[in-house]
């Protein structure tokens, strides 16, 4: 019983970390942010949001640049 709880917690932790590190959680975060700060703003669909994100990178390639 105890170990299964620990295991489930570990899996949840890993899943959370992977989603955060890969920025897969970016959409959820943005929606949460929008709901909290601009209650009546239109929430974009995930597809629209992801497009907006790559367009931003397109405009300024220094976003997310990596080092040698």
Q: Which residues of this protein are in contact with other proteins, per CB under 8 A?
A: 17-24, 26-27, 29-30, 32-34, 46-47, 49-51, 53-68
Listed in sequence order, the residues at least 6 apart from 46 whose beta carbon sits closer than 8 Å to its beta carbon are 27
4 or 55: whose CB is closer to other proteins? Answer: 55
What CA–CA distance (Å, rounded) separates 30 from 50?
A: 11
Question: Tokens 């601009």 correspond to what residue?
Answer: 38
Minimal distance in Å, beta carbon 36 to other proteins?
9
Minimal distance in Å, beta carbon 7 to other proteins?
20
1 or 39: whose CB is closer to other proteins? Answer: 39
Beta strands in 1-68 (DSSP E): none
3 or 22: whose CB is closer to other proteins? Answer: 22
What CA–CA distance (Å, rounded) separates 23 from 14?
A: 14
């Amino acid at each position: 019983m105890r170990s299964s709880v620990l295991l489930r917690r570990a899996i949840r932790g890993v899943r959370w970390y992977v989603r955060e590190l890969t920025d897969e959680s970016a959409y959820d975060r943005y929606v949460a942010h929008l709901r909290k700060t601009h209650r009546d703003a239109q929430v974009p669909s995930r597809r629209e949001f992801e497009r907006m994100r790559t367009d931003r990178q397109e405009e300024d390639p220094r976003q997310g640049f990596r080092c040698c």
